Chain A
């Protein structure tokens, strides 16, 4: 059963790797039906924050609370089923085709309609029919990214965590991805997107968080969303 998460509360997160502090007392809230653009220079701690929210990385202190209404959703299978992650790496097996990869993940998520959902998603991300039966290791970077996005969306997650999703994909693909993200927001997903592509995020992000050297420098919501110019201004003011 997928947990109907409607908010993710990040409270006092700190992460250290040995003597290096990667995140320092970060607190913020992510809401359903909202897309948060997580901005910051390289090494700011964005990927680590995403890793902690995805449950794959343990924080040194602080916590992430997943809420469904008034109830807290405990860690475990139902919570993981509600989370979809697109990371730097694709999580795809190079020796399998796109269809086989998605079929494998569909079985892991116990999806009854796995093949039809996989096919529809591969259509949505624009992977050509002839490519679907080729091993993923023969794909270009952009094709891998498209299949990785389909994998992240396969189980219709309630919390969508994307790390540099626009990397490697062409302008058509980027526009399609932006539409997919907008649909996820309309569906009521909690979306957290790390990206340096501010143009692509303009119009769909209604929440901006800026990290710098592990600290949350800025956290702002706007009902009408942010334009590219506003995103750039926020980035320059708080991240540089």
Chain B
């Protein structure tokens, strides 16, 4: 399922390029908008605000991707084809979520180095917690986003509704990701690991809830 999504995407490149370009533009524009004077008297980007912009860029670009990824299942009504198959519905959901996770991970592989470069933020100073943070935050967005994108798939104004219903649910994840990134940037790993563990619990909760509700959300 995830491989099929990636194959279609790598052939058309419409979602991945749009997501990556949008996220990169957010980072570049904000790095130019928020400047401070350094000790040497030069104008430099404010490294302290990197966590916020990094996760805003990831979240907004993910919203673009998840909406389009489920649009593909609407064209020719392929979602019905999937639901008719004997494959467990939970496996279908996880396949869509993993596909979205992989696409987001590819975008983050561009955005995180861009943040490091433009904000001069030491994002790679603690690679292990940073990797755990990125993986868990991405998994959370992919799981929650897949549930809501599937739920709104047959709704006419889904592009408008998706952020409206999705963002309030993602607020705890967003806060945890920002707090953990801030901890990593200033070298305070204890609070960073606390928020990373919080993300683990958040992800586990939503994976269970998603697997439980997915079938009832997609059957008429």
Contact = CB atoms under 8 A, between A and B. Distances in A.
Contacts of B219: 56-58
B220 A95 contact: no
Contacts of B85: 80-81, 105, 108-109
A135 B7 CA distance: 12
Interface in B66-100: 72, 75-78, 80-88
Nearest to A2: B86
B4 A80 contact: no
Interface residues of B, number: 21
B12 interface: yes
B8 interface: yes
Contacts of B75: 94
B11 A87 contact: no
B76 A80 contact: no
Contact of B76 (A51, A54, A56, A94): A94
Given A95-B11, A100-B7, A109-B85, A58 B80 contact: no
A108 B220 CA distance: 22
A23 to B, nearest CB: 13
Interface string A34-76: 0000000000000000010011111000000000000000000
A200 interface: no
B86 A93 contact: no
A57 B87 CA distance: 18
A66 to B, nearest CB: 14
A56 B220 CA distance: 7
A80 B86 contact: yes
B76 A89 contact: yes
B81 A151 contact: yes
Contacts of B7: 95-96, 100
Interface in A134-153: 135, 151
A85 interface: yes
Given A56-B219, A58-B220, A96-B4, A108 B76 contact: no
- Considering residues A51, A56, A151, which has the most beta carbons from chain B within 10 angstroms of its beta carbon? A56
A95 B8 contact: yes
Contact of A80 (B8, B11, B77, B84): B84
Top-4 shortest CB links A-B: A91-B81, A89-B77, A77-B86, A95-B8
B80 A56 contact: yes
A88 B80 CA distance: 11
Nearest to A17: B220
Given A81-B86, A85-B84, A96-B4, 14 more contacts: A51-B220, A56-B83, A56-B219, A77-B86, A87-B77, A90-B76, A90-B77, A93-B4, A94-B75, A95-B7, A95-B11, A100-B7, A108-B82, A108-B87
- Considering residues B8, B81, B85, B219, which has the most beta carbons from chain A within 10 angstroms of its beta carbon? B81
15 contacts: A55-B84, A57-B220, A80-B85, A81-B85, A85-B84, A87-B77, A88-B77, A91-B78, A93-B72, A94-B75, A95-B72, A96-B4, A100-B7, A105-B81, A108-B82
Given A51-B220, A96-B7, A96-B8, A91 B86 contact: no
A54 B81 CA distance: 11
Interface in B173-220: 219-220
A83 B72 CA distance: 24
Nearest to A151: B81
B215 to A, nearest CB: 11
A110 interface: yes
Contacts of A96: 4, 7-8
Contacts of B80: 56, 85, 87, 89, 91
B88 to A, nearest CB: 7
